[in-house]
Amino acid sequence: MTKTLLFIQGIYDTIDLFIAAFSDAFRQAGFRCHVIDIRNPKEALQRLKKLTEEETIDGVITFNNIGYNLSFSGGRNLWEEKGIPYYNILMDHPFHYANPLKHAPKTSVVFCTDRAHVAFLQRFYPHLTQVDFMPHAGMEADLKECADAGRCRLCTGDGAFHPAMEERPVDVLYAGGLSKYQAEGLVPDLGEITEFDAFALTQDVLSDLMNHPEKTTEQAVEEYLLSIGKQYDDETLNHWITELRFIDSYAASFYREGAVRMLVESGIRVTVFGGGWERCDWAKNPNLIYGGKVLAPQVLELMNHSKIVLNTMTWYKNGIHDRIINGMLAKAVVVTDESNYLNEEFQNKTHLVSFSLPQMQQLPVLVEDLLEHPKRMEEIAQEGYQYAKANHTWSRRADYMRKHYL
């Protein structure tokens, strides 16, 4: 019997792109897939009500808790009322979603893109009985045909066109903003916190993460609190970790800015897209090419015009970022900082080039050496492409869900 899945989109262009690739993968596997767009809430709810009344929905797949609290009657959760599994894929650290996770449907299955995030949920949200690790997946753009502005054609088979390495005008691409500016709205009034000196905590924890970048933010916060004699139960500790989560964004931003600045000041041209770069005090360096903000589909196309895709993790310590897989699927050379998962997954290092944050000063030499050896870059890019195509597409993630959950 054909199974029916429901996907919910309409909040972020990046997630809409994920859903386009993921739903297509399930359709190719023989599933019936409906996509609900909540940009028009009234219309979306009417369609959703009709679908749940007329069809048997075998699961709803969504990202970052979208639609977790939908209801039609008496405030009762729709997914619980209908007994529909709610597959929720978190693309960010769970501490950004405390309220939705506290009130998640009882039918929830939560997937995290970092193993440390899985451990976080298992410790601090024990009512979530089904939590699993699902690494980021990538998408491949096909440049054979032009797409509409702000869009790209996704390739789900073989035969996509990618420009040759020597034809790519961008030496190094960083596609992503500086999260410290995005995190400004997350900073609480530290002066109103009376349990401890929040200013001292912020300074010491940030310093700890700068000097020990292998640590997670929650680990560093807990260690600091213990060091000043504050031993909280898990509920209270989770409250403070969540309240102070802006530190995570500042730590990730510190290394992201540092990596690009180091290259630029070494004479290497770096093209950046995303918010915040124009606010750096070194932004007028002629080697920094700032392209502003672009939509997710355009990023996939830009990667196809880049020799090197540079990545620094969003403080993922045991996961992978989609920027890595997308870069591989664009047949660019991916240069990234390490994580436990990456070291395990890419043991022979022939699919990408990695560096450790404590030795980031070696990055300019590493990148210069790559740019001086285009044949080696071509070999790395080809190996990365083949590996990502075989292991890290949304089709592979659909296979995992089919095998273990559907």
- Say whether pLDDT at 149 is over 70: no
Under 8 Å between Cβ of 23 and 4: no
Q: pLDDT averaged over the chain? A: 93
Neighbours of 275 (CB within 10 A): 14
User: So what's the pLDDT on residue 146?
Assistant: 60
pLDDT cut 90: percent of the chain above it: 84
pLDDT for residue 300: 93
CA gap 159, 184 in Å, rounded: 44
Residue type, 305: H
For 67-107, the pLDDT digits (tens) are: 999 988 778 999 999 999 999 999 999 999 999 999 999 99
34-77 pLDDT, tens digit per residue, is 999 998 888 988 999 999 999 999 999 999 999 999 988 778 99
Are 129 and 122 contacting, i.e. CB atoms less than 8 angstroms apart? no
Confidence of residue 148 (pLDDT cuts 50, 70, 90): low
Write the pLDDT tens digit of every residue in 323-362.
999 999 999 999 999 999 999 988 777 899 999 999 999 9
User: In this predicted structure, what is the pLDDT of residue 60?
Assistant: 97
Q: What is the model's pLDDT at position 159?
A: 74
- Is 153 a residue whose pLDDT tops 80? no
Dihedral of the alpha carbons of 152, 156, 162, 168, in degrees to the nearest 10: 50
- Is residue 309 over pLDDT 60? yes
- Sheet with 4-9: list strands edge to edge: 32-37, 4-9, 59-63, 86-90, 108-112, 131-133
Query: pLDDT value at position 145?
Result: 65
Q: What's residue 110's pLDDT?
A: 98
* pLDDT at residue 41, rounded to an integer: 86
> What is the model's pTM?
0.94
Place of tokens 């790209």: 152
Tally the C-alpha atoms within 13 A of residue 74's C-alpha that lie toward its C-beta: 3
Q: Torsions phi, psi of 47, nearest 5?
A: -65, -40
